[in-house]
Amino acid sequence: MTTHTFLLAHGVAAASGEPCTEDAAKAKTELLSELAVLRRRVARLEAFLGGHEAQPPPAATANTDAPPPEQSFLHKALNSIAFPVYIIDAHTCEIVLANRATHDDRMPAVTTCYALTHHRRTPCDGADGPCPIEEVKRTGKPVIVEHAHYADAGPARRFEIHAFPIFDGRGCITHVIEHNVDVTHRRRTEEELANHKKSLEMLVATLERSNQELKGFASLAAHDIRSPMAMVTLAVASLQELTASTLDDTGKKVLGILMRGVKRMAEMTASLYRCSQVDYQGIAFTTVDLNQVVDEVVSIQLFTEIQQSRGTITVAEPLGAILGDEVQILQLMQNLIANALKYHREGIEPAVTLRTRDAEHDRIRVEVEDNGIGIREADREKVFAMFNRLDDAREHDGLGVGLAFCKKVAERHGGRIGVTSTYGSGSTFWVELPRAHQRDMDLDGDAR
């Protein structure tokens, strides 16, 4: 049984039947003195808690009676609480009572809160955090403060202190009940998380800066290359014209290969520049009617390709409206439908079906289904990479830029793009775009 518990519950039994040596007599005197101090504090505390006048402490005797019921009840109630609880004199800062959870067997019989937690002889000066007792006295209300406590060894630990005032009959604060929560680990974890967050934010900022620099470099490079490429194209064309009557078949063949390579390089440069400008040259988002977009693509942009391939384009149902950049959405749909027409199986006329479905996050999922050559499972992510062309597609003209452009457009609109496919039977390319609501359409109508 701990020192405080023993004294509160039972008092001190006098030694009897043994020789009274000088040391024993001295220890007995000190113990009885501490008992008298504690009795006076308990009497005052019971008076405040129970609404009774404090009675003068009885004279110290060798034999003490059983504790009064109120004291026993208070003792049991405090010890039933699993966390540390202290009752502290608001004026002297002496700890009047402490429950078992405080490990009060480690405390001297008479001590102050600042001696226990700071090993000081004077009250706290505020350097380790606000004093809960002073805050309670200042506000007259329960408070929660954070304070540093010091053990006999090791670094200080952070405690969250919940302090509650005890008033006397005149409304004056006489004692403070404190409940302490060790938050050292929590604060350390919060600091580590804050440091990690700061490091992550710095890394993100660095990546964003690098990304912007790369975009700028790609745009600049593509722009600067176009001029010399045009000069090379013109020079090769002039050379072909000047040597048309003097070159043999081999020379003409070499010049033809050179011209095709120059033209391809020029097309790749133009495509690279177009992709690099998706984020820079986009217009403000408005309501875009997908039915009108597809109608323009089919009747104007891809009219020749549809006729030459003898393909059919079917819109399964009204496609609805999305919120986006109308020019980029038209280019995206043109690329998806053009690919569906281009990569068809030999001897089979291309059939393309367009439909929309509801998607998560208030988006519309636009699907372009074809009956073409299909894509192997291992290649389904590769098709969206810049300048990447699959082996099965090399017999068809193309640069491997169209789907990369579509991916950038989808990402600029906060959406995503993907493909499902059965190799040898066809593919369904899908793209999710933000749905346009009636309020968006109304705003667009007012703007026009």
Over residues 232-250, the pLDDT tens digits come to 888 888 888 888 888 888 8
For tokens 């109304």, name the residue.
442
**What is the CA 391 to chain-centroid distance, rounded?**
41
C-alpha span between 226 and 391 (Å, rounded): 28
- Three-state secondary structure call for residue 120: coil
How high is the pLDDT of residue 228? Answer: 76
Q: What residues contact 183, with CB distance under 8 A and at least 6 apart?
A: 146, 158, 159, 160
Find the mean pLDDT for residues 167-181.
90
How high is the pLDDT of residue 222? Answer: 61
What kind and span of H or E run contains 199? helix 184-242
How high is the pLDDT of residue 63? Answer: 42
pLDDT tens-digit readout, 382-425: 888 876 766 555 555 656 678 888 998 999 899 999 999 999 89
Q: How does strand 173-182 pair with strand 85-89?
A: antiparallel
* Overall pTM > 0.75: no
Contact 403, 393 (CB under 8 A): no
What is the distance in angstroms between the CA of the first residue and the CA of the last residue of the chain?
86
Closest CA relative to residue 214, chosen from 275, 135, 299, 143 = 275
CATH no., domain 188-276:
1.10.287
Query: What are φ and ψ of residue 221, in 5° steps?
Result: -65, -45
* Lowest-confidence region among 109-118, 252-261, 399-408: 109-118
C-alpha span between 369 and 359 (Å, rounded): 17
Query: Tokens in use for 144?
Result: 């929660």
- Give Cα separations from 197 to 189, 192, 289 (angstroms): 12, 8, 42
How high is the pLDDT of residue 418? Answer: 94
Q: Could you tell me the pLDDT band of residue 314, with boundaries at 50, 70 and 90?
A: very high
Contact 102, 178 (CB under 8 A): no
How high is the pLDDT of residue 389? Answer: 66
Q: Which CATH class is domain 286-447?
A: alpha beta
Q: Could you tell me the pLDDT band of residue 221, with boundaries at 50, 70 and 90?
A: low
Query: What are φ and ψ of residue 147, in 5° steps?
Result: -145, 150
Angle separating helix axes 3-10 and 22-50, nearest 10 degrees: 70
Q: What residues contact 248, with CB distance under 8 A and at least 6 apart?
A: none
- Three-state secondary structure call for residue 432: strand
Closest CA relative to residue 401, chosen from 221, 216, 276 = 276
pLDDT tens-digit readout, 30-44: 666 666 656 665 655
Q: Which residues pair with residue 422 across a beta bridge?
A: 426
How high is the pLDDT of residue 6? Answer: 31
Contact 5, 75 (CB under 8 A): yes
Q: Which residues pair with residue 112 across a beta bridge?
A: 94
- Any idea which architecture 3-182 has in CATH? 2-Layer Sandwich (3.30)
pLDDT tens-digit readout, 356-382: 999 988 999 999 999 999 998 888 888
Find the mean pLDDT for residues 92-107.
78
Q: What residues contact 339, with CB distance under 8 A and at least 6 apart?
A: 370, 402, 403, 429
Whether pLDDT at 183 is above 50:
yes
* Lowest-confidence region among 50-54, 268-272, 303-307: 50-54
Domains 3-182 and 188-276 share a fold: no
Q: What is the dihedral of CA 184, 190, 196, 200, to 10 degrees?
A: -170
Whether pLDDT at 291 is above 80:
yes
- Give Cα separations from 186 to 65, 191, 193, 375, 415 (angstroms): 47, 9, 10, 52, 38
In the sheet that 351-359 helps form, which strands lie side by side, from edge to edge? Answer: 312-315, 351-359, 363-369, 426-434, 416-422
Q: What is the DSSP letter of 381?
A: T
C-alpha span between 156 and 83 (Å, rounded): 20
Closest CA relative to residue 9, chosen from 100, 110, 111 = 100
pLDDT tens-digit readout, 188-202: 899 899 999 989 998
C-alpha span between 372 and 424 (Å, rounded): 7
Query: What are φ and ψ of residue 153, in 5° steps?
Result: -145, 155
Provide the residue ranges of all domains of the chain, joining segments of one domain with +: 3-182, 188-276, 286-447
Whether pLDDT at 323 is above 90:
yes
Cβ-based neighbour number of residue 288 at 10 Å: 24
Whether pLDDT at 173 is above 90:
yes
**In whole numbers, what is the pLDDT of the chain averaged over residues?**
78
C-alpha span between 136 and 225 (Å, rounded): 75
How high is the pLDDT of residue 41? Answer: 59
Closest CA relative to residue 39, chosen from 14, 15, 17, 61 = 61
Share of the chain above pLDDT 90, in %: 28
Find the mean pLDDT for residues 249-273.
78
Q: Could you tell me the pLDDT band of residue 14, with boundaries at 50, 70 and 90?
A: very low
Query: Tokens in use for 255?
Result: 């010049």
How high is the pLDDT of residue 356? Answer: 94
Read off the amino acid at residue 108.
P
C-alpha span between 432 and 172 (Å, rounded): 68
332 against 284, higher pLDDT: 332
